[in-house]
Structure 1
Amino acid sequence: MKKIVIVGATSGIAIECARIWIKTEPANLMLIVRDLERAKPLVADLLVRSPESSVESIACNFIDPSAISDMVRVIAKAGPIDIVLIAQGTLPDQLDCENDLILSNDTLAINGVSPCLFAEAFANAMQGQVSGKIAIIGSVAGDRGRKSNYIYGAAKGLVARYAEGMQHRFAATGIRVSLIKPGPTATAMTAKLRENGLKCAPAKSVAQDIVHGIEKGKAVIYTPKKWQLIMLIVRHIPAVIFNKLNI
């Protein structure tokens, strides 16, 4: 069975990815979470959907480099890893972050530094393998800083640059690194935004794009696909015009 590790496994997108993977074929799923109690319903759900699969949840401190390193080392000792999906994240209000440096720090840490640390740890564990895939969930918000979410966007911008560097590092190997850039997605993280009228893509369709993109070894996965064109335009708007926009 494929060995699939999902970091931040209780996130809405990660849950849908896990369901797609075990529906395709039985798998050995290792769910890395912050709260084991919260993960119990997910483990039960996945086992009901695929009794032949192996599903295990593991608790980890997502912002402790030593804890991350130790946990990944243990996982790697158990055998080669086929897929790693790094999916943790939070989406606090931009104004709240501007007025609370502790919240800003936490936002940058969990959305930017933490995914990069996990990616580095798994990259080191997998570098001797013939093949393997590392996928990191970034965001379209990381493509250009905007006043409405630049703290969150800056964290995702870090993830984007980090993934690019890892892609360069493994270019001549069988290891593939995918950077995932979802647009607004209907998960618990965007609940307040949806209450205010924001239209979001279904998490299941976003997950299907992600699983397909990882399987194909795509370097960048925009989902829904329209966001690739939207962000191409946003990135190229001249600053003299961009700075007048309320986005």
Structure 2
Amino acid sequence: DTLVEWCVNRGYGGLENLSAIPGAAGAAPVQNIGAYGTEVKDVIEKVMAVSVTDGRIKEFSARDCRFGYRDSVFKNEEKGKWLITEVWFRLTTRPVFELGYSGLKDEAERLGGVTLRNIRQAVINIRGRKLPDPASTGNAGSFFKNPVLTNEAAELIRNKYPGVTLYPDPSGGVKVSAGWLIEQCGWKGRRIGDSGVWEKQALVLVNYGRATGREILELSEMISKSVYEKFGITLGREVEIVE
């Protein structure tokens, strides 16, 4: 978030929708982090990395990174092989704002209008209302990816569940809200011991105190099982599991 703040304060657009995401800039390409209609791949020019085995330096173009939905080459065939040292961003002083996320434009308007600073603050405000503060409640942000369905499968679920949250995916398919699926299965706000599902956002699993990593993982598996049994949809994890 320090990088996003620095850019916004200097009038550089492109990263403002990624405000308030914790972590280091060097980790952003690995996950292809995204929020509120923006993915970091949209503004990455290249990534510089050092081999962990022989110390050689390699440049990865945006194409080389093979970015996908919360995915990149660094999570697949190049996983564990490189230490990212630089990320080059392509920003602009004439940004075209991404305002497709529900409520984002209205929040910016309430702050005085659609500007870089107001969009950043709008994102911070919305995140603050929906997501737990990791400084006080342990969490890894969104635990699950939004599944991408074929158009035919999306139409079937829309007919059966008219209230389902669907939106187009760049791949040509249709994303279904994982949070909506989880909520429909009764998990939102549910707690098992010290592990639980955040009461304001069903995508976020939280540690209320002394839950172990295994307990959080077991909770995620129970959630995935119930979603599959109800909808026939498999939830993919957004987080990386470290054994």
Alignment TM-score, normalising by the size of structure 1 = 0.23
Which structure dedicates a bigger proportion of its chain to helix? 1
Structure with higher Rg: it is: 2
Instruction: With a CA cutoff of 8 Å and minimum separation of 6, indicate the structure with the bigger relative contact order.
Output: 1
Alignment TM-score, normalising by the size of structure 2 = 0.24
